[in-house]
Amino acid sequence: MPSLLVEDVFRRYDAILADAACFHPRRRPPPGSRRRVKQTPAVNLIERLRTQREGVLRFVTDLRVPFDNNLAERDLRMPKLKQKVSGCFRSTEGAEAFATVRSYLSTLRKQSVDLYQALVMTFQGQPPMPRLA
């Protein structure tokens, strides 16, 4: 991306956060008090977006980074659903086995491998290996 466009995106991002900070000011401790004051979720989010600015806007400077994180969120959906339905995994080994199988299948899917054929080959003792790197 041209550097002027990148600078403009960063400048607009900072302006949006500055506007947000005006609508959601930080809470101050009472006069004479030295304790920390609990901030609102909005203030905490604004602060986090400020400190993590480079990571939040990484997709602007590194075009290999996707704009959203839907793949990672999809990868987490099934274990969370299983946890919700059954309450928990019965053992650590079961959770690790579940995660290993899900990770393997997710990697194959992202590499456009036919999952049915991969499972057939796996049960025949010839599991396809995902490409690394």
| CB-based contact 104:130 (threshold 8 Å) | yes
- pTM (2 decimals)? 0.55
The radius of gyration computed from the CA coordinates of the chain, to the nearest angstrom, equals 23
Q: How far apart are CA 91 and CA 99, in angstroms?
A: 12
Q: What mean pLDDT is reported for the chain?
A: 86
State the residue for tokens 């659903």. Answer: 81
pLDDT at 3 over 70: yes
pLDDT one-digit tens code per residue, 101-133: 888 888 888 888 899 998 899 899 998 888 776
pLDDT one-digit tens code per residue, 62-85: 888 877 777 767 777 777 777 777
Residue 1 binned pLDDT confidence (cut-offs 50, 70, 90): low
Q: How far apart are CA 95 and CA 33, in angstroms?
A: 48
How many beta carbons lie within 10 A of that of residue 46, not counting itself? 21
